[in-house]
Amino acid sequence: MEILRFATAGSVDDGKSTLIGRLLYDSKAIFEDQLESIDRTSRQRGEELNLALLTDGLRAEREQGITIDVAYRYFATPKRKFVIADTPGHVQYTRNMVTGASTADLALVLVDARKGIVEQSRRHAFLASLLRVPHLVVCVNKMDLVGYDEEVFEAIKHEFRAFATKLDVTDLAFVPISALHGDNVVHRSANMPWYEGSSLLHHLEEVHIASDRNLIDVRFPVQYVIRPRDDAHHDYRGYAGQVAGGVLKAGDEVVVLPSGFTTRIAAVETMDGPVAEAFSPMSVTVRLEDDLDVSRGDMICRPNNQPRVTQDVDAMVCWLHDSHLQPRGKYALKHTTREVRALVQDLHYRLDVNTLHRDESATSLGLNEIGRITLRTTQPLFVDEYRRNRTTGAFILVDEATHATVAAGMIL
């Protein structure tokens, strides 16, 4: 079954956790003991069944009624499996939003029907477009509190479409919902006969994500060299890793970077045996016809379709740490399976995610801030633009002294 990964985003108290709870509850995806637990907690607090408690697991989250950490939930319908990342709405948790949305196929941006488009709605929509999330769904929540008024929904829809013209959004959909009462979440609502679209779950089941994968550019970062010790397989040499793009088949001509040697694929294998072809995001072992010097961090690709080999990286970064980014700062850089050292050569500007204004006078980046930088690495990287390949176009920066992950980057 196909897996859809989606992240929820939106302003504080827009009902993200309640929406996920409603999705799980109405699609019969929670266990009886979980339901009993949240029912008991709700009654202790003098509330009706509070479905937000399904995802807000931290004590601080339950006490404050907000989401702090990224909560992951899994459920399935007969059509699809789902991985949900419930991301926080607060500005100080932008890094958590970036983490949750970085692997998402779809982003759900919740808007409170009473408040309309607010600063955080714009911020999260911008972050989703920056992270190249292919599909965006705007859920106008709490429609019950505005009398299920069509004009309120249409006004929010018009305003958001106008803002979205500044972003790089390829697929945009709008759904009016009430997460508290379940209107248009799993089932179509009788309270909004003017809405002619599908329910949210139906949209999630039907949205087409297969073509979002890059099946053109063959990219296979080598993670591990497999050399069995036993006598029966002493000639075996396989290269294990996760396909980052394109399609790999036995007989294909390939080149290994950085050596530049060419050969052909002898076989593509999984735990269950050989396969006819492999594509993203399959984890496979590739065997080559010739004995080449291939090790972790090398990349297998096509001779006439190679990534850019460079030591100069121009990128947007989201700063994830309390310590500040400083020009001339030195960090460890992890890109696919390759790890190198990097020097920050220049900070071009800091981006205001609310106004999209570029501050070119900025001298550093702080926690949750986003900016454009240039890096110089000690060894070549094999990169694509992030907009073309979200795996070979992404990296993280690590503080060498503390081993803390300080930034997530997207190569321009």
Q: pLDDT band for position 11 (50/70/90)?
A: confident
Q: Is the pLDDT of residue 68 over 70?
A: no
What mean pLDDT do residues 201-227 have?
A: 91
- In this predicted model, what pLDDT tens digit does every residue of 384-393 receive, in sequence order? 999 999 999 9
- In this predicted model, what pLDDT tens digit does every residue of 81-98 receive, in sequence order? 999 887 765 555 677 778
What mean pLDDT do residues 141-159 have?
A: 95
- What's the CA gap between 352 and 372, in Å, rounded? 12
- Looking at residue 89, its pLDDT comes to 57
Angstrom distances, CA of residue 236 to CA of 44, 243, 369, 395:
62, 21, 48, 32
Look at 180 and 312; give whichever has higher pLDDT.
312
- CATH number attached to the domain at 308-411: 2.40.30.10
Sheet strands side by side (includes 106-112): 71-76, 81-86, 3-10, 106-112, 135-141, 171-176
Q: pLDDT band for position 232 (50/70/90)?
A: low
Joined together, the tokens standing for residue 165 give: 């013209």
Mean pLDDT of the chain: 87
Q: Is 308 exposed, middle or buried (0-12, 13-18, 19+ CB in 10 A)?
A: middle
Is residue 20 within 8 A of residue 55, CB to CB? The reply is: yes
Q: Is the pLDDT of residue 59 over 70?
A: no
- What's the CA gap between 282 and 20, in Å, rounded? 28
**Helix or strand holding residue 22 (H, E):** helix 16-26
Q: Where in the chain is the domain with CATH 3.40.50.300?
A: 3-212
Look at 295 and 103; give whichever has higher pLDDT.
295
Q: Is the pLDDT of residue 334 over 50?
A: yes
- Looking at residue 231, its pLDDT comes to 66
Q: Looking at domain 220-301, which of 1.50.40.10, 3.60.21.10, 2.40.30.10, 2.40.50.140 is its CATH number? A: 2.40.30.10
Q: Is the pLDDT of residue 243 over 80?
A: yes
Angstrom distances, CA of residue 200 to CA of 8, 172, 412:
13, 13, 33
Q: pLDDT band for position 327 (50/70/90)?
A: confident
- In this predicted model, what pLDDT tens digit does every residue of 364-382 receive, in sequence order? 999 888 999 999 999 999 9
Joined together, the tokens standing for residue 390 give: 């979200």
- What's the CA gap between 337 and 222, in Å, rounded? 7
Q: The pTM is what?
A: 0.83
- Looking at residue 234, its pLDDT comes to 73
- Looking at residue 8, its pLDDT comes to 86
Q: pLDDT band for position 19 (50/70/90)?
A: confident
Q: pLDDT band for position 64 (50/70/90)?
A: very low
Look at 409 and 100; give whichever has higher pLDDT.
409
Stretch among 113-122, 140-149, 215-224, 262-271 having the lowest mean pLDDT: 113-122
Look at 183 and 55; give whichever has higher pLDDT.
183
Q: pLDDT band for position 395 (50/70/90)?
A: very high
- Looking at residue 310, its pLDDT comes to 96
- Looking at residue 88, its pLDDT comes to 67
- What's the CA gap between 58 and 274, in Å, rounded? 44
Question: Percent of the chain scored above 90 by pLDDT?
Answer: 58
Q: Looking at domain 3-212, which of 3.10.105.10, 3.40.50.10310, 1.10.3720.10, 3.40.50.300 is its CATH number? A: 3.40.50.300
Q: Is the pLDDT of residue 12 over 60?
A: yes
Q: Where in the chain is the domain with CATH 2.40.30.10?
A: 220-301, 308-411
Q: What is the DSSP letter of 145?
A: G
Question: Percent of the chain scored above 70 by pLDDT?
Answer: 92
Of 122, 181, 168, nearest to 410 by C-alpha is 168
Q: Is the pLDDT of residue 60 over 60?
A: no
CA angle 284, 287, 289 (to 5 degrees): 155
